[in-house]
């Protein structure tokens, strides 16, 4: 049985009306949150569950649409919360009420903890991409030299990046060889050391799937690790991050390092539900290894192991990841699905990237991994002003 959120949008309008009528800010927030409309897709339901679901949900004023083994359950958050009380439900519905309670959108994480301190998430956090590889899909080779990499990092920071994400191994489609750890370290360590000296307060993340690279990068001054396989390929990664007291981004993908940017494993019956479930498993493994919940962020892995259509659906349903209770990172920057939607080549997708970031903020994302920071910064400023926190 699985329960996946389908929609959760800002309740700011109701909040502001209540405050205008003189309500206390805390009471207004609670009431507006309770009135927020939500919907859930429930699958793997047995006939006795479906039989009990319709009348019980009806007594609570919820809307239900059912089919063979599935249901969509919709209503206000307050009424759905009442449904999620197993002690009031018929025996056949107890497990469903528990699952729905777990799938209810969590309170937004206030901050993301890294080895350089916590980053507040009450406003968009921009993560500038710094590829120090010769073969990245968008800017391969442009910043492969240390001086060029440092200059680009300066530009990212000046444009508004709070985080710089350094990558020493490309994950572009069509790669045929993995990068040895020694080569990857030779690319990223001089940049980390240079940036740590140049920008002592800058949060540096390193995009790697190798615990050996992560360990050396964190020792050199990086604050967090961005694992694009969500701990699948190196079982020592989580403990390495935990020992360093660092932050951890768990990005969804499938397959080995040479397959993750392909469609080889893009086989989903419910892309948002399956991505959320697989990330939930990665979160559990990270915490079991000692990584605190406050240090974990999740990333849907747009462009990784997903078709264009699946990327678009997953993007629209980021609520499923927000419900996991950890900061959501998105990296739509210049991705193939934006090229299909706009008809633009890789180097002309920054406007689409900025629009995607604004839409992702509305859907609950808080950290935005981009190549071109200024455009995303402005789009997100507008999104925050209109949509609120």
Which residue, 326, 317, 270, 350, is CA-closest to 39?
317
- 3-state SS, residue 218: helix
Structure tokens at 23: 């309500």
Q: Are 372 and 127 in contact (CB under 8 A)?
A: no
Q: Are 346 and 302 in contact (CB under 8 A)?
A: no
Strand (E) or helix (H) holding 20: helix 12-20
DSSP lists the bridge partners of residue 66 as 71
Q: Find all residues with CB under 8 Å of 308, minimum gap 6, and list them.
A: 336, 337, 340, 341
Q: Which of the residues 113, 187, 232, 335 is marked catalytic?
A: 335
Going 319 to 29 to 127 to 120, the CA torsion angle's sign is negative
Q: Find all residues with CB under 8 Å of 55, minimum gap 6, and list them.
A: none
Q: Are 179 and 169 in contact (CB under 8 A)?
A: yes
Give yes or no: 210 in active site: no
Calpha distance 232→211 (Å, rounded): 12
Calpha distance 339→346 (Å, rounded): 7
DSSP lists the bridge partners of residue 114 as 117
Q: Which of the residues 113, 363, 369, 377 is marked catalytic?
A: 369
DSSP lists the bridge partners of residue 7 as 39
Give yes or no: 335 in active site: yes
Q: Are 226 and 249 in contact (CB under 8 A)?
A: yes
Which residue, 302, 297, 249, is CA-closest to 275?
302
Calpha distance 376→144 (Å, rounded): 24
75 φ/ψ angles, rounded to the nearest 5 degrees: 165, -170
β-pairing, 296-299 with 125-131?
unpaired
**Angle, CA 227 vertex, CA 122 and CA 325 arms, to 5°:** 40
- Compute the residue count for the chain: 389
Residue with tokens 């206030």: 110
Active-site residue list: 335, 369
């Amino acid at each position: 049985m699985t329960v996946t959120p389908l929609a959760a949008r800002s309740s700011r309008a109701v909040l502001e009306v209540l405050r205008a009528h003189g309500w206390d800010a805390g009471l207004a927030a609670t009431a507006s949150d309770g009135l927020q409309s939500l919907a859930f897709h429930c699958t793997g339901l047995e006939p006795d569950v479906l039989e009990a679901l319709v009348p019980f949900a009806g007594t609570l004023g919820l809307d239900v649409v059912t089919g063979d083994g599935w249901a969509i359950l919709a209503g206000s958050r307050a009424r759905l919360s009442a449904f999620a009380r197993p002690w009031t439900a018929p025996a056949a519905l107890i497990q469903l009420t528990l699952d729905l309670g777990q799938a209810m959108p969590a309170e937004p994480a206030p901050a993301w903890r890294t080895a350089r301190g916590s980053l507040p998430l009450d406003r968009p956090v921009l993560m500038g991409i710094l590829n120090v590889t010769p073969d990245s899909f968008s800017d391969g080779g442009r910043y492969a030299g240390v001086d060029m990499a440092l200059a680009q990092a300066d530009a990212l920071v000046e444009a508004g990046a709070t985080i710089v994400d350094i990558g020493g191994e490309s994950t572009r489609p069509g790669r045929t060889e993995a990068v040895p750890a020694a080569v990857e370290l030779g690319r990223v360590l001089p940049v980390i050391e240079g940036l740590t000296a140049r920008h002592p307060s800058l949060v540096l993340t390193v995009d790697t799937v190798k615990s050996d690279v992560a360990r050396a990068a964190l020792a050199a001054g990086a604050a967090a690790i961005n694992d694009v396989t969500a701990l699948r390929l190196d079982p020592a990664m989580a403990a390495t991050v935990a020992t360093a007291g660092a932050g951890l981004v768990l990005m969804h993908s499938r397959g080995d390092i040479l397959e993750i940017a392909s469609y080889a494993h893009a086989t989903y019956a419910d892309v948002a539900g399956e991505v959320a479930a697989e990330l939930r498993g990665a979160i559990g493994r990270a915490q079991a290894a000692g990584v605190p919940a406050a240090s974990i962020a999740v990333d849907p892995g747009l462009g990784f192991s997903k078709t264009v259509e699946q990327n678009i659906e997953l993007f629209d349903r980021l609520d499923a990841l927000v419900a996991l209770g950890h900061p959501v990172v998105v990296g739509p920057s210049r991705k193939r699905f934006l090229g299909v939607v706009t008809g633009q080549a890789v180097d002309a997708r920054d406007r689409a990237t900025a629009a995607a970031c604004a839409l992702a903020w509305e859907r609950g994302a808080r950290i935005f991994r981009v190549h071109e920071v200024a455009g995303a910064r402005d789009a997100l400023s507008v999104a925050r002003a209109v949509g609120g926190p």
